[in-house]
Structure 1
């Protein structure tokens, strides 16, 4: 049986971060990967999604400017766009594997725990001082009749020919972002939502503004609707719900994600987990000494995002190499849905404190600023949450929400007062950044 200092199970952002850091040491490392090297984000997630969003945004902004200086809006050629995407991303898994292989041993296959100290892959057994589980998450599929007709985001982000009618089941980040993308390319989109609203991470007003804007572009929503079956009909697929039937050529399942733990054989160990993932302590150690978990596979309240996974990879490297003994402390975390308009947020949600006298909520329309008016962005609305005159939360719906919210993250994270900001920072005029100093007066 071969032994290592560290075994990394997975090669996504969290593990890849650790892999690169461990490559600078003399530790003997094994990386085990049963899926695509690099994980979901660079292959089927945030990287290709934002790459495709660049073209979709240009099309949608040109439509928004029709009659305001634009006489002919842009059109999105899905086949050409997808081929451009495939040319860029198809080689990434092999390239990532080669980068890892330069400094570490690799094993292609799914790791299975034999006991609390041993993993097996391809009939080879390994042990290590530290075993790090970083297997991420995978898309959920509804367990309904006809589930064989369901497709995931992995499928759609490599779809070479765009179907005419697409039904999207789910209205979370993935569902809304991909619905925005395919609708911009000309598909007829219907979104089936089992509850009464879409993104619950944001305020109700921001959610309503996003849904209204998507509806105005022809995207249909069916709220409080349960999907019952999917079947092949005479003219395509038929999605049957408790509110009737939806005709479609393609059905995207965007009903959330689950931790990738099914193939790990955790039942052979004393590792505890729940439906949200593997349970860890403040040092990211599982309930078994010497076994750790990082990234989206762990159960935590922080958003399951690539930067968070990489942060955990950095922290665990520092902890295992004795650079810190402190428990992990997460920074202020921003998150965004790259829809059109975008929605973005960080810190305290205004809806959760609206009736709490300790907090003050300021809502500002941005449509009068030259940048937003020039884009005919009539939606952009910024919400700021203060406690004791200190900024503790921010959110926005608008064409530039992600970038706009980034202006406020250092203020929240570094606990900077409005007076300190005005004394030390003068940003570029006439962007939103130029207005931040004034906005920090609650």
Structure 2
């Protein structure tokens, strides 16, 4: 390990690895540090492993939807086999990523980095110096400040469970809680409870489509409780008692596992940013549009920064801007966010892009709302999907797509096509004029605008 570098990247995930490679390829001496194996949350503890579990439970959903339609099957999930399947991806990623970084001439280091000055950090008792730093440490589960918080399992721990508990409670009603609740119930858990303190889960998503997802979730057998604030968690033997405050009184949920699903916050607590002169807020490290912090020699990107949406592709885009500006020696590039879709990978999936109806009204825009339930459409009938719909906002006069909101199979790819169309400035009429392969989920889009 050297004691001095041109660049030290703190964080071995999507927002950091691209910057490390870009600068190393330009001949810089670079080190990449992570307190965990390199790969980041998405590849190792989030998006990718989660979707591998969902892929297995999709088989259960498919068989249920095709019951009485010619498919005779009663599938069941073997939890240990499913997690072993997940590990075929997650176990191989860190060595692949770290070997790739080393091949590029990057020193791969492990440990908790801590700034000791504007150009120095401490790592495992050693002092390292660099001309520049790039921070991409991601996010961590938010602190709830409730009695018994230490009994909460994280999403990482849920993904690593060797066996599936029978009774699981999820604190929160966001992405993590809703997706994992669906996985747990389709995997055979007898009792799955979601405790959301607001009026409904998935606040940023379209309320009409979320209402349909709530129906599907409750039909699945998940006990979804809203206006449910978790007050404390107690452990009695092998059980957990979750005290929940609701408008009509206090309730207790008894379970075998309580999972933290209330959201994540920037993972910057242990960096000692004050020593580096790096300003931050509760939203993360303060950066300008060039991804530069208040210390001109330090950049940041991804979930740890107070920048764009906390999504993996966003962190990659921000990292590219940071890397180009590092190499340019000035703020030559500014991050520009195209329309960014977001998807909840429950079954059915819910996707959103652009403005909601409320946000469009707040901006004083005039628009038409195209909203229809589509369980009678061929693409839904073909796969036995019960709850499918779309809501698309089209600006009057210009024909521009202001927002697209989808629920049902294929939503995760349909929303990407809407993102491409909106990014290219295509109008509703231009989308209608497109000729897609038929029958396909894509071919439905022209009928949605």
Query: TM-score category by the smaller chain?
Result: over 0.9
Query: Where do residues 270-419 of structure 1 align in structure 2 (5 Å cutoff)?
Result: 270-300=277-307, 302-322=308-328, 325-353=332-360, 356=364, 358-387=366-395, 388-419=398-429
- Secondary structure, counterpart of 1:239 in structure 2: strand
Contact 2:414 2:445 in 1 (8 A): no
Contact 2:169 2:259 in 1 (8 A): yes
Q: Distance in 1 between matches of 2:390 and 2:282?
A: 34
Q: For residues 327-354 of structure 1, what are the alpha-carbon distances to aligned partners after superposition, in whole Å with 9 as ceiling and x for unaligned?
A: 2111111110000111001111123235
Contact 1:4 1:28 in 2 (8 A): yes
Deviation at 1:84, TM superposition (A): 1.7
Q: For residues 201-221 of structure 1, what are the alpha-carbon distances to aligned partners after superposition, in whole Å with 9 as ceiling and x for unaligned?
A: 111111111111100111001
- For the pair 1:213 / 2:223, whether they are aligned, the reply is no
Contact 1:141 1:253 in 2 (8 A): no
Q: For residues 240-264 of structure 1, what are the alpha-carbon distances to aligned partners after superposition, in whole Å with 9 as ceiling and x for unaligned?
A: 1223111101110111111111110
- For the pair 1:128 / 2:115, whether they are aligned, the reply is no
Which sections of structure 2, spanning at least 5 residues, go unmatched?
A: none
Match of 2:98 in 1: 97
Q: For residues 88-107 of structure 1, what are the alpha-carbon distances to aligned partners after superposition, in whole Å with 9 as ceiling and x for unaligned?
A: 32232233222222221122
Deviation at 1:235, TM superposition (A): 6.4
Q: Distance in 1 between matches of 2:431 and 2:417?
A: 12
- For the pair 1:434 / 2:443, whether they are aligned, the reply is yes
- Secondary structure, counterpart of 1:119 in structure 2: strand
Cα distance, 1:234–1:353 mapped onto 2, change above 3 Å = same
- Secondary structure, counterpart of 2:337 in structure 1: coil
Which range moved further: 139-148 or 152-161? 139-148
Q: Distance in 2 between matches of 1:196 and 1:438?
A: 32
Q: For residues 369-427 of structure 1, what are the alpha-carbon distances to aligned partners after superposition, in whole Å with 9 as ceiling and x for unaligned?
A: 2221111212111111112311121111112221221221111011012444455x321
Contact 2:321 2:334 in 1 (8 A): no
Which range moved further: 408-417 or 313-322? 313-322
- Secondary structure, counterpart of 1:408 in structure 2: helix
Q: For residues 72-120 of structure 1, what are the alpha-carbon distances to aligned partners after superposition, in whole Å with 9 as ceiling and x for unaligned?
A: 3322111211122123322322332222222211221111111112112
Match of 2:145 in 1: 143
Q: Distance in 2 between matches of 1:40 and 1:254?
A: 15
Match of 2:254 in 1: 247
Which range moved further: 273-282 or 410-419? 410-419
Contact 1:190 1:221 in 2 (8 A): yes
Which range moved further: 363-372 or 6-15? 363-372
- For the pair 1:108 / 2:110, whether they are aligned, the reply is yes
Contact 2:31 2:106 in 1 (8 A): yes
Match of 1:162 in 2: 164
Q: Distance in 1 between matches of 2:147 and 2:326?
A: 47
Using the size of structure 2 for normalisation, the TM-score is: 0.93
Q: Distance in 2 between matches of 1:249 and 1:374?
A: 38
Q: Distance in 1 between matches of 2:446 and 2:225?
A: 42
Q: How many residues end up aligned between the 2 structures? A: 438
Contact 1:171 1:198 in 2 (8 A): yes
